[in-house]
């Protein structure tokens, strides 16, 4: 791993400065406890880009103390470890108490790029573990580490990942796996369910305490508003609408959009059974545990709206029903505005026309009918030749239904004729918004198997370098843009992933 370069002003571990504003909330919000020691830990992965966020020198990752600290075996001065409690709607059913069952917040580290929660995921049992063991496994830790950084490179708001620390300690899931601890970073880990907990308990003073904390720490511009809590809801609605539009445009499926997995900052959080759509299917369900398809790809925008209603319900002690309903009514228009703009850009359209929505739907219907690879189609579309009679073979070969493809081609060619841009300019624009590389499940699985079976972490590092530049051609990495091989057809991810 690249730990040689240290930025000017980067600090040693002992020089990091910590605070914990969440820990200054009343004690009903959390339980203070220390992580459970992890036996014989070893460093699996370190992310210099995340270290930059808190100003940590890269060379610190080579120290034994780094591994001990970021598995929870040793606490730095200023750490204030705690597990937060929250509630949530899980698959539509309200669960009155959930919480950090395997995650412990160490505190906030301040860097040149703001204040970042450092949270150890897999740090042992907490009072909110229910029947769980409080541990994460290497498999799920690698998946989250890779996904959060891949999403960041795609420009999608997300938690970040600093490091993975492994151990040979056995952990029982569907099979016996090895333990790991992921250091997750975010400006805040407050969720919709954090508000739901206290509202459901009729602890309305705590709903107000939490709203004040979120506004003061993360939305200070709202403090001067006539109704700060109403404006907080409006801001969360706006951020969530934009986030889910970005998910849909890139073909990302979250898999478990419970309200306890929805960030109050509009971040992608809690990567479990996620996936990027390959063969396009409107109804794709990436979570093997989701028997009813509640969190299917085409359901995500509506589920986000439903979750926002749950948040608004929790905030009703602080805002009027009619006002909450009014701002909730803004969601659909905001989602459509962001999604339409993103899809127009993916299609290479710099101008807006009345029938663009129909073209977008026809494009997705064509992909759905053919189960064409979503990422590959849009990347190749940049090379589309609009000349009459042009073959466009690299694109055409994605479709067995040649007549349907020909009809769509004629429609698309006509729409491009309304654009003033030249083809090279259009291609350059499209390649800036249509990634060539996404984290396909089989790519993550390859890295996981090498790490688990051989203690070879080189594929994690290779994927991190690749996915940091998803829009670049990277000719030496062409194989990573290909569709999944046959052996990957049986891969499935579930809530334990």
Residues carrying an active site annotation: 260
- Distance CA(446)–CA(229), nearest Å, equals 46
CA–CA dist 208, 218 (Å, integer): 15
Location of structure tokens 């406890």: 33
CB 174 within 8 A of CB 109: no
Helix axes 228-250, 321-328, angle to 10 degrees: 20
Q: Is the dihedral of CA 136, 138, 143, 144 positive or negative?
A: positive
Residue among 78, 63, 3, 68 nearest 37 (CA): 68
Sign of the torsion formed by the C-alpha atoms of 234, 235, 237 and 241: positive
Q: Checking phi first, is residue 92 left (phi over 0); if not, alpha (psi -120 to 50) or beta?
A: left
Q: What are phi and psi of 84, to 5 degrees?
A: -85, 150
- Residue 378 structure tokens: 């849009």
- φ/ψ (deg, to 5) at 228: -55, -40
Which of 194, 230, 220 minimizes the C-alpha distance to 209? 194
Structure tokens given for 479 = 């194989």
CB 265 within 8 A of CB 357: no
Q: Which two tokens stand for residue 203?
A: 């602890």
């Amino acid at each position: 791993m690249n730990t040689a370069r240290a930025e000017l002003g980067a600090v040693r571990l002992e020089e990091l400065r910590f605070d914990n504003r969440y820990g200054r909330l009343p004690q009903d919000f959390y339980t203070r406890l220390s992580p459970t020691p992890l036996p014989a830990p070893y460093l699996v992965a370190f992310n210099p880009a995340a270290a930059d966020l808190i100003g940590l020198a890269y060379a610190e990752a080579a120290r034994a103390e780094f591994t001990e600290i970021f598995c929870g075996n040793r606490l730095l001065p200023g750490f204030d470890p705690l597990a937060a409690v929250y509630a949530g709607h899980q698959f539509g059913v309200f669960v009155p108490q959930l919480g950090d069952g395997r995650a412990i917040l160490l505190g906030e580290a301040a860097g040149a790029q703001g204040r970042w929660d450092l949270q150890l995921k897999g740090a042992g049992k907490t009072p909110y573990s229910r029947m769980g063991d409080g541990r994460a496994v290497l498999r799920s830790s690698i998946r989250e580490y890779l996904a959060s950084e891949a999403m960041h490179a795609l420009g999608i708001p997300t938690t970040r990942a600093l490091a993975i620390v492994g151990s040979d300690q056995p952990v029982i899931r569907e099979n016996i796996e090895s333990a790991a601890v992921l250091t997750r970073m975010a400006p805040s880990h407050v969720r919709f369910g954090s508000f739901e907990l206290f509202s459901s308990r009729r602890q309305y003073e705590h709903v107000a305490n939490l709203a004040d904390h979120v506004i003061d720490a993360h939305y200070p511009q709202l403090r001067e508003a006539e109704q700060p809590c109403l404006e907080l809801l409006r801001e969360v609605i706006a951020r969530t609408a934009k986030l889910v539009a970005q998910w849909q445009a890139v073909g990302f499926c979250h898999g478990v959009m419970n309200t306890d997995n929805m960030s109050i900052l509009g971040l992608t959080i809690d990567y479990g059974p996620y996936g990027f759509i390959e063969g396009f299917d409107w109804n794709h369900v990436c979570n093997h545990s989701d028997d009813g398809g509640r969190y299917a790809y085409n359901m995500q925008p509506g589920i986000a709206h439903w979750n926002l209603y749950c948040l608004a319900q929790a905030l009703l002690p602080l805002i009027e029903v009619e006002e909450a309903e009014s701002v909730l009514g803004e969601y659909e228009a905001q989602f459509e505005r962001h999604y339409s703009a993103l899809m127009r850009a993916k299609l290479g359209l710099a101008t807006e026309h009345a029938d663009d929505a129909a073209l977008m739907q026809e494009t997705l219907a064509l992909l759905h009918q053919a189960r064409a690879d979503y990422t590959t189609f849009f990347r190749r579309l940049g090379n589309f030749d609009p000349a009459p009679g042009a073959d466009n073979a690299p694109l055409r070969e994605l479709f067995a239904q040649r007549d349907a493809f020909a009809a769509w081609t004629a429609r698309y060619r006509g729409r491009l004729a309304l654009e003033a841009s030249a083809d090279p300019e259009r291609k350059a624009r499209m390649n800036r918004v249509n990634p060539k590389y996404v984290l396909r499940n089989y790519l993550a699985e390859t890295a996981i198997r090498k790490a688990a079976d051989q203690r070879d972490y080189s594929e994690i590092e290779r994927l991190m370098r690749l996915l940091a530049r998803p829009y670049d051609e990277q000719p030496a990495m062409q194989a990573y843009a290909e569709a999944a091989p046959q052996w990957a057809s049986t891969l499935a991810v579930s809530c334990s992933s």
